[in-house]
Amino acid sequence: MTITKHDIRRGAYYDSVVLMQLQRGLIGLPGVIDAGVVMATPANRELLAANDLLPDSVTASPDDLLIVVKAANEDSVQNAMGQIDELLAKRKSSTVSQDFRPRSLSGAVKQLPEANWVLISVPGRYAAGVAREALELGKHVFLYSDNVSLDDEIALKKMAREKGLLVMGPDCGTAIINGIGLGFANHVRRGSIGVVGASGTGTQAVTVQVHNRGAGISHAIGTGGRDLKSDVGAITANQALDLLARDPETKVIALISKPPSPDVATQLISAAQRTGKPVVIYFIGFPPPARKIGNLHFVISLSEAAEIAVELVNQKADVIKNLPMSGRYLRGLFSGGTLAYEALLGLQASLSPIYSNAPISSNQTIKDPLKSEAHTIIDLGDEFFMVGRLHPMIDNDLRVRRMRQEAADPEVGMILLDVVLGEGSHMDPASELAPVIKEVHDKKIEVVDIVIGTDDDPQNLESQIERLKDAGAIVFRTAAEAVEYISLRLGGSAANTYPSVNLEQLNKPLAAINVGLESFYESLTLQGAQAVHVEWRPPAGGNERLAALLAKMKK
Amino acid sequence: MTITKHDIRRGAYYDSVVLMQLQRGLIGLPGVIDAGVVMATPANRELLAANDLLPDSVTASPDDLLIVVKAANEDSVQNAMGQIDELLAKRKSSTVSQDFRPRSLSGAVKQLPEANWVLISVPGRYAAGVAREALELGKHVFLYSDNVSLDDEIALKKMAREKGLLVMGPDCGTAIINGIGLGFANHVRRGSIGVVGASGTGTQAVTVQVHNRGAGISHAIGTGGRDLKSDVGAITANQALDLLARDPETKVIALISKPPSPDVATQLISAAQRTGKPVVIYFIGFPPPARKIGNLHFVISLSEAAEIAVELVNQKADVIKNLPMSGRYLRGLFSGGTLAYEALLGLQASLSPIYSNAPISSNQTIKDPLKSEAHTIIDLGDEFFMVGRLHPMIDNDLRVRRMRQEAADPEVGMILLDVVLGEGSHMDPASELAPVIKEVHDKKIEVVDIVIGTDDDPQNLESQIERLKDAGAIVFRTAAEAVEYISLRLGGSAANTYPSVNLEQLNKPLAAINVGLESFYESLTLQGAQAVHVEWRPPAGGNERLAALLAKMKK
């Protein structure tokens, strides 16, 4: 028979290293079978239950420390419970000596004025406050802490942007600045590939594989996982792209993130185009719009991101000088549903907003298929149009009328058509389309045609293409080529006009102040970086009521 | 001033060619400015309005024919309206002579008993009936008609499957059977690439590009756009894959579709694996799980589908003999969020159902992150687990406990871990993981590890890998490689046991009966296929009330 006892420390702060050490210390005691030492959050209580460690009735709040010991007999339990205070007091001694430990950020800055970074890994509820203080002191922030609110993230990043500072995070696991790894980072060769990573292990996997393939990293800048959401607007990712664009050591950029919000994606893709350097983009889980759009290369895995980045380092950069047109709208009028869908799939990355009657995501659904808005892709072969009517591959009447309707809209800059030849289709589509293409082209609207056909088709492919071109159309033979052309012509948005981050300072030897996990401090010094660890404690020792009282008294 | 008049023909059937010809005939008359001839559906009325052709007040139902003429003066309008009947009576004369035209399917079969196909392009509401009749007569069906209900589609396909017959469609635009194009199809070289296409223009684009790259097509089998939805369960696509697997002329298969339902995707991927031939898969708009999983090659565009298929024709097939294990579950326990996400992204194509606390689609959300179900991928670094606890890259306690929990579940066949080395991480993760890996491995549960690290990392990469392997783990260095391995080990489902479609018959010269658009009949005969066109009219001339009455009298 086993005996389980528990103890609760109300509202006290202990860092997670101390908790781990206490748990291991308890498990190591004679007769102890298992032990749990957790903040009493619902998740942690469930975890205790899963390990058969949750006491029957316990009233503890998420801010309380819950300590449970299971032992073979009463004596062992009593002995273990009696040693809790001693174990809590015993802190792991640092492997790196530091004679004087400041207790505040400002104290640390006095000790290491050249520090350009502050690493923050205190519990989430305190992290934003520490980050704000760091920004006020003019330091870049590496914010490892999770459980930081979205509002705090936005406020911190806007503040940083105004000051030309970076906030990497919250929940930023990994960065490599100037050869020094922050947080979780692998030892990789220095080199000419810059990484912008909204994902910690994504950045680790890519930098590792770049190294394993013989190349190296200039800087790997983390952004935190929420940076590319609409609310945050990719503030850090934009700063990072701009930095790496200006950094002469960086020849190729890799941008790694979970799928961004559509508006952020188009904005960021446009920023990536403006870097003028080859950019490898991996939006994890998002179907790539193409293999390549100008200087952008889209990949489908972390390994492939590394592989292509390394290949591009050794290639002569193929920079597109061709600057984007200013925001005039595309109207795609398709006879083929799949061609419409594939075009939308490719264009959605660069053109925003874009609507369709064959949408990929529901927010692309067009209100009225008969009225285009912004960028629009219409499948004219959709059932909606087809009652009692011949398919638009056979009869161009509907499409000809719609082309004229679009051309009358002053916001339209380009019309995209597919022309599908072969058995069953109209025997001479150019005869119907060319005159209206000419009309539209004369109004300074570009017409792009995707012609699908073979040299054996009954329509005479060559003469069809010839006549479409004579009418002014630009002709491609695949949707993929048309997508690349249109993305480069119509994509793009204005550049940011915020203060840029100081590149020269970034390229100076890294010096940092560490607040939170001591192991990050140790890691910095072992890598040869100058660092100071702050002996941080939360206000009022983590007692929220007392802290509130203190804050009141300060006023 | 212009004058607009209209006429309504209530509940009468005209095929869409006749309507197009009437409209063009009217526009060609003296003084006529524009004309509209449409079935009075809401969509068509809106289209008339967009062309300034909708009469002010008109009461017509979607089954009524609405004829509108706009002319320069009263005389011209009157003249045009007076010619409607004559124009309606004048049918385009066929370019191919056919002495006797049967008026029914059974009549056509008597005339061409060797016909193995029936092409159906009558209006949607009649199409299912004609298709049923064709199946009863033992013929394969090419169902071009749209606006056919999902219930009818399912019933027709189930009926066909029992008989070893194919139903391509509804809304199937394109097929190439034995060198003959059905519906919309390009003239392409015969060759060794077989296509299964749930998308008409997708099939056209791929077959065209295969031809343009110098290769050819064995058969291109259409399925209709809804075949890969859960409700239909890819009945036709499965039959088609099975056919092409057995066809000795087909060396490489291309499978083109919009993203299938997840359950259908895993089933179909497993069927594609069983073909033992290289299969190029393009699920349009779905992020590819990998470049390659065994004999399956995933691509990101129609052009790439053709490109890779042609490349594979010339390669010695790299067939995986390694047969799948029988449905035991995977449990992935990750410290890296992005690694978890990328693994899920790759595995979701082959393993179903799969759940996660970092889901890609909402139906993958795990109910309780503490309890795995079916295949499960858990990110143990998620905020949920992180309050007051060290990150699982530093402290393996949570993961070790969870591994034991999973190993106690008799449904578990494999445990997947990431082991991320480098600065900040645990200095010797193998010391904590290897003992429990051995425990798990001794229970006949496979352990797969993804180790992320470089030879410069402080942990000694080589010795870490060595110790994990010694404990029984299979070690990969990228998530992509682990995904391929696991998909081949755990993916797969039972083969169908329905009657197979007769391959020998499919490879006989195509002979067909055409019901609907005459142009499809003409196209068949011009391609040298034997064909009979049915002079089809809907029951009771399209008058629904009369048709219902007739049906009643038959009983």
Structure tokens at B84: 């409607």
Q: What are phi and psi of B122, to 5 degrees?
A: -75, 165
Q: Is the Cβ pair B342, A301 closer than 8 Å?
A: yes
Residue A467 has pLDDT above 90, yes or no: yes
pLDDT at A386: 82
Residue B99 has pLDDT above 90, yes or no: no
When pLDDT is averaged across residues A139-149 and rounded to a whole number, the result is 95
pLDDT at A428: 97
CA distance B527 to A91: 86
Residues whose CB is less than 8 angstroms from the CB of residue B490 and which lie 6 or more positions away in sequence, other chains included: B324, B325, B327, B328, B329, B330, B350, B351, B375, B413, B414
Question: A-contacting residues of B 136-195, CB under 8 Å?
Answer: 146-147, 171, 173, 181, 183-189
The DSSP bridge partners found for residue A451 are: A419
Q: What is the pLDDT of residues A345-402, one digit of tens each?
A: 999 988 989 999 999 888 999 999 999 999 999 999 998 888 888 899 999 999 999 9
Preferred mutation among A15, A16, A201 to probe B, highest tally of B CBs within 10 A: A201
Residue A210 has pLDDT above 90, yes or no: yes
Q: Is the Cβ pair B186, A342 closer than 8 Å?
A: no
pLDDT at B60: 87
When pLDDT is averaged across residues B32-50 and rounded to a whole number, the result is 91
When pLDDT is averaged across residues B279-295 and rounded to a whole number, the result is 91
pLDDT at A555: 58
CA B543 to mean position of chain CA atoms = 35
Angle between helices A429-442 and A397-407 in degrees, nearest 10: 10
Shortest CA gap A300–chain B (Å)? 7
Strands (E), B52-95: 65-71
pLDDT at B542: 67
CA distance B75 to B77: 5
Q: Which class for A339: exposed (0-12), middle (13-18), buried (19 or more C-beta within 10 A)?
A: buried
pLDDT at B94: 47
Least confident interval from A175-179, A416-420, B91-95, B283-287: B91-95
When pLDDT is averaged across residues B91-119 and rounded to a whole number, the result is 80
Question: Within an 8 Å CB–CB cutoff, is residue B290 touching chain A?
Answer: yes
Spatial contact of B337 and B358, defined as CB atoms under 8 Å apart? yes
Nearest chain B residue (CA) to A147: B383
ipTM: 0.85
Q: Which residues of B touch A408 (CB under 8 A)?
A: none
Least confident interval from A312-321, B42-51, B290-299: A312-321
Q: What is the pLDDT of residues A471-482, one digit of tens each?
A: 999 999 999 999
Q: What is the pLDDT of residues A214-234, one digit of tens each?
A: 999 999 999 999 999 999 999
Residue of B41 and A496 predicted with greater confidence: B41
Query: Is residue B260 very low, low, confident or very high in pLDDT (cuts 50, 70, 90)?
Result: confident
CA distance A232 to A261: 10
Summary mean pLDDT of chain A: 90
Preferred mutation among A168, A186, A211, A297 to probe B, highest tally of B CBs within 10 A: A186
Residue B323 has pLDDT above 60, yes or no: no
Question: Within an 8 Å CB–CB cutoff, is residue B304 touching chain A?
Answer: yes
**Pick from B492, A287, A270: which is nearest to A279 by CA?**
A270
CA distance B426 to B180: 64
Q: Which residues of B touch A398 (CB under 8 A)?
A: 47
Output the CA–CA distances (angstroms, integers) from residue B449 to B332, B347, B434, in the order listed: 10, 15, 11
CA distance B456 to B458: 6
Query: Is residue B8 very low, low, confident or very high in pLDDT (cuts 50, 70, 90)?
Result: very high
- A277-312 burial code (b ≥16 CB/10 A, e <16): bbbbbbbbbbbbbbbebbbbbbbbbbbbbbbbbbeb
Q: Is the Cβ pair A393, B184 closer than 8 Å?
A: yes
Question: A-contacting residues of B 453-482, CB under 8 Å?
Answer: 453-454, 456-458, 477-481
Residue of A383 and B355 predicted with greater confidence: B355
Q: Which residues of B touch A338 (CB under 8 A)?
A: 199-202, 205, 256, 258, 284, 302
Task: Write the residue in B123, B387, B397 that is nearest to A39 by C-beta.
Answer: B387
The DSSP bridge partners found for residue A531 are: A512
Nearest chain A residue (CA) to B406: A50
Q: What is the pLDDT of residues B430-443, one digit of tens each?
A: 999 999 999 999 99
pLDDT at B503: 92
Q: Is the Cβ pair B338, A387 closer than 8 Å?
A: no
Spatial contact of A170 and A224, defined as CB atoms under 8 Å apart? yes
Residue of B42 and A94 predicted with greater confidence: B42
Shortest CA gap B293–chain A (Å)? 14
Angle at A198 between CA A197 and CA A201, to 5 degrees: 70
Residue of A93 and B152 predicted with greater confidence: B152
When pLDDT is averaged across residues B212-226 and rounded to a whole number, the result is 96
Spatial contact of A218 and A192, defined as CB atoms under 8 Å apart? yes
Residue of A321 and A222 predicted with greater confidence: A222
pTM: 0.86
Summary mean pLDDT of chain B: 90
Residue B100 has pLDDT above 90, yes or no: no
Preferred mutation among A213, A300, A304, A427 to probe B, highest tally of B CBs within 10 A: A300
When pLDDT is averaged across residues A470-495 and rounded to a whole number, the result is 89
CA distance B436 to B185: 59
Question: A-contacting residues of B 224-283, CB under 8 Å?
Answer: 225, 256, 258
pLDDT at A205: 94
Q: Is the Cβ pair B302, A181 closer than 8 Å?
A: no
Residue A417 burial (CB count, 10 A): 28
pLDDT at A190: 96
> A364: which DSSP letter?
G
**B252-257 and B279-283 beta bridge pairing:** parallel
Share of chain B above pLDDT 90, in %: 72
Spatial contact of A36 and A53, defined as CB atoms under 8 Å apart? yes
SS3 content of chain B, % helix, strand, coil (to 5): 40, 20, 40
Locate tokens 């911190």: which residue?
A156
Q: What is the pLDDT of residues B112-147, one digit of tens each?
A: 999 999 999 998 889 999 999 999 999 999 999 998
Q: Which residues of B touch A187 (CB under 8 A)?
A: 422-423, 454, 456-458
Residue of B554 and B128 predicted with greater confidence: B128
Q: What is the pLDDT of residues A239-278, one digit of tens each?
A: 999 999 999 999 999 999 988 888 888 889 989 998 989 9
Q: Is the Cβ pair A19, B420 closer than 8 Å?
A: no
pLDDT at A323: 44
Question: B-contacting residues of A 80-119, CB under 8 Å?
Answer: none
When pLDDT is averaged across residues A432-439 and rounded to a whole number, the result is 97
Structure tokens at A316: 């002569």
Shortest CA gap B352–chain A (Å)? 17
* DSSP codes, B92-105: PPPSS--S---SSH
Preferred mutation among A180, A387, A397, A432 to probe B, highest tally of B CBs within 10 A: A387
CA distance B448 to B75: 85
Residue B97 burial (CB count, 10 A): 7
Q: Please report the number of interchain residue pairs, chain A to chain B, with beta-carbon separation below 8 angstroms.
A: 325
Spatial contact of A381 and A393, defined as CB atoms under 8 Å apart? yes
pLDDT at B318: 55
pLDDT at B316: 66
Query: Is residue B109 very low, low, confident or very high in pLDDT (cuts 50, 70, 90)?
Result: very high
CA distance A550 to B541: 89
